[in-house]
Amino acid sequence: MSDTTLRKEPAAARAANMPDYREAVAEFSWQAERDALAGLSDGGLNIAHEALDARIAAGLGDVPALRWFGRDGTEIIFTYAALSREANRFANVLASLGVRPGDTVYSLLGRVPGLYFAALGTLKSGAVFCPMFSAFGPEPVQARMEIGSARVLVTSAALYRRKVRGIRGRLPDLAHVLLVDGEEEGCTALAPLMAAAGDTFRTAPTRPEDPALLHFTSGTTGRPKGALHVHEAVVAHRATARLALDLRPGDLYWCTADPGWVTGTSYGIIAPLVIGVTMIVDEAEFDPDRWYDMLAREEVTVWYTAPTAIRMLMRAGAELIGKRRFPKLRFMASVGEPLNPEAVLWGQEVFGMPFHDNWWQTETGGIMIANYASMDVKPGSMGKPLPGIEAGIVAVTEAGVKELTKPQAIGELALRPGWPSMMRAYLHEAARYQKCFRDGWYLSGDLAMRDSDGYYWFVGRGDDVIKSAGHLIGPFEVESALIEHDAVAEVGVIGIPDETAGEIVKAYVALNKGYEPNEELERELLGHARKRLGPAVAPKAIVFRQNLPKTRSGKIMRRLLKARELGLPEGDISTLESDEK
């Protein structure tokens, strides 16, 4: 824990959307937030209607909604009216294909305009939208499309060839593959369909509890979990972005997260549009020089990014900024994994303001704990619960859940269920879903503590899930891909600390008879894993062992691998039956 507290100037606090945290907590009501939305005329609620039609009705039709920058620097501006027309066209395309409310439309795309049309058009049509990260390999893509019974996939010709063509036969529900560019056998070009479609669409009469978004996350065991969110989530998207990101109309806002992850959808598509800001989307990958240029040249006012990116900027050195200045920048926030105190303070040094770390999960749908524009920052802390959110530190035992109220007590971070963007299901996994809720708490799986001032501090994961570059990676998914290789007898996958990415994925492999551990095989396994899993999930390091530590039932003890890797105490090893060699 750091001793430095960064104090906020009273004038700056007064200028924030939430000038006083305590007052806001006392006054907050979800009903008032719900009432602040336009809603549909029949009492329904639809995310895309709030993001587009309601903004146009409020007079923002000619305001830029999306300023898109292509990899080569080309800019295309879509006003709220133009974005709405494109979303309407896409919704009409879905209707012409027979897609019905409740069907699932997937995307596998880089950050291209078509992704935004597809997301908003799908929501308008009443279908469920599931964005996938384009750096996933075929296996994660297949698992996610199987679980959600993908009916339509929107992708590009190149991504289709590399990641979908080979698994297409295993996706019987997938009726249509729409390509935003190029041509491939068995696929339909989207552009002609869009051109022929009408640019008006009557928003589907969705109810607040109708499913809207599907986001996948990873657990320690088993397949990825499809967290289902409903249209009512928009109430929380809007409220939390106003409070925790200080977003307001007139802002030029840059969320660097890819919509393939929940941040890039909740705060990279929905919240900014519902609030009525102009958002920037950059197609290009991370590049320090380009990022500083974007911040300075476009005069970004609110910037939401991730610890890995911040640490890569720190590595690049502040000299790189040169003559660029950021006088319009008002608020910077970070999410993905805990932001180390040095990075928070680096923000203060370089930009004249700290990065405001916040905490939430795919399951929570929106920011739950945050540092605010008006609240002093304790670097390294995730801040305090959002108004409307009740958090606690709890101990989970067989007897039940007990809240630990003593300051500094370490326990599981838990939330009182009932906020609008809470997941409503893990698709087809009722038992796993039920396990998240106990004795009136949602259990996050993260270990944390609360100090005597009410600030929360992340301590670690309560399970074996790996957090790399802000993304959760399930060790089982990685192990399953490696074990398919003929050489691999057993495999255990853990996350090891990395100063830039937080953690990186490392695989411990024991080989079958007849295989020799050598560099050639290591590369072959790495290539095997990359081809199946893609770069976002594949291990960055593979080591060989003769035997892996296992329990009597043959379960590989990842915890022990990790303790040894980090030189930590091995803890209770009474269940260890067969040790590492």
Partner 1 sequence: MTKDDIEKLVRGELARIAPDIDPDAIDRDGDLREECDIDSLDFLNLVTALGKALSMPMPEADYPAMRSLNGLVAYLSRGSAASAG
Please give the residues from 51 up to 80 whose contact with partner 1 meets the rule CB under 8 A: 71
Task: Please say which residue, 317 or 567, places its beta carbon nearer to partner 1.
Answer: 317
Least Cβ distance, residue 312 to partner 1 (angstroms) = 7
**Only segment of 115-123, 224-232, 459-467, 500-508 that touches partner 1 (CB under 8 A):** 500-508
Which residues, at least 6 apart from 202, have a Cβ–Cβ distance to it below 8 Å? none
Per-residue binder mask for partner 1 (CB under 8 A), 94-133, x = binder: ----------------------------------------
Binding residue for partner 1 (CB under 8 A) from 120, 145, 536, 560?
Answer: 536
Instruction: Report how far apart, in Å, the C-alpha atoms of 489 and of each of 459, 464, 484 are.
Output: 34, 21, 9
Task: Please say which residue, 533 or 548, places its beta carbon nearer to partner 1.
Answer: 533
Binding residue for partner 1 (CB under 8 A) from 288, 454, 462, 517?
Answer: 288
Task: Please say which residue, 171 or 542, places its beta carbon nearer to partner 1.
Answer: 542
Distance (Å, whole) CA 230 – CA 256:
24
Binding residue for partner 1 (CB under 8 A) from 2, 79, 348, 500?
Answer: 500
Check binding of 531 to partner 1 (CB under 8 A).
Answer: yes
Task: Please say which residue, 320 or 430, places its beta carbon nearer to partner 1.
Answer: 320
Scanning 198-279, the segments in alpha helix (DSSP H) are 233-244, 262-265, 271-275
Check binding of 336 to partner 1 (CB under 8 A).
Answer: no
Check binding of 165 to partner 1 (CB under 8 A).
Answer: no
Binding residue for partner 1 (CB under 8 A) from 162, 223, 229, 485?
Answer: 162
* Count of Cβ atoms closer than 10 Å to residue 156 Cβ: 21
Check binding of 318 to partner 1 (CB under 8 A).
Answer: no
Pairing state of beta strands 425-426 and 410-415?
unpaired
**Only segment of 99-107, 226-234, 316-324, 366-374 that touches partner 1 (CB under 8 A):** 316-324
Chain Cα centroid distance, residue 267? 9
Task: Please say which residue, 205 or 288, places its beta carbon nearer to partner 1.
Answer: 288
Binding residue for partner 1 (CB under 8 A) from 43, 169, 172, 317?
Answer: 317
Task: Please say which residue, 10 or 182, places its beta carbon nearer to partner 1.
Answer: 182
Name the amino acid, one letter, at 475. Answer: P
**Do the Cβ atoms of 412 and 487 come closer than 8 Å?**
no
**Do the Cβ atoms of 104 and 148 come closer than 8 Å?**
yes
Residue found under tokens 């494109």 = 86
**Only segment of 77-85, 253-261, 314-322, 560-568 that touches partner 1 (CB under 8 A):** 314-322
Q: Residue-wise over 116-136: b if at least 16 C-beta within 10 A, else e?
A: bbbbbbbbbbbbbbbbbbbbb
Check binding of 354 to partner 1 (CB under 8 A).
Answer: no
Check binding of 340 to partner 1 (CB under 8 A).
Answer: no
Q: What are phi and psi of 58, to 5 degrees?
A: -85, 5
Which residues, at least 6 apart from 555, have a Cβ–Cβ distance to it below 8 Å? none
Tokens of 273: 């549009």
Residue 356 bridge partners (DSSP) = 333
Is the C-alpha dihedral spanning 459, 217, 436, 366 positive or negative? positive
**Do the Cβ atoms of 384 and 417 come closer than 8 Å?**
no
Least Cβ distance, residue 285 to partner 1 (angstroms) = 5
Name the amino acid, one letter, at 358. Answer: N
Chain residues that interact with partner 1, rule: CB under 8 A: 71, 135, 162, 285-290, 308, 312, 315-317, 320, 469, 500-501, 504, 523-524, 526-528, 530-531, 534-536, 540
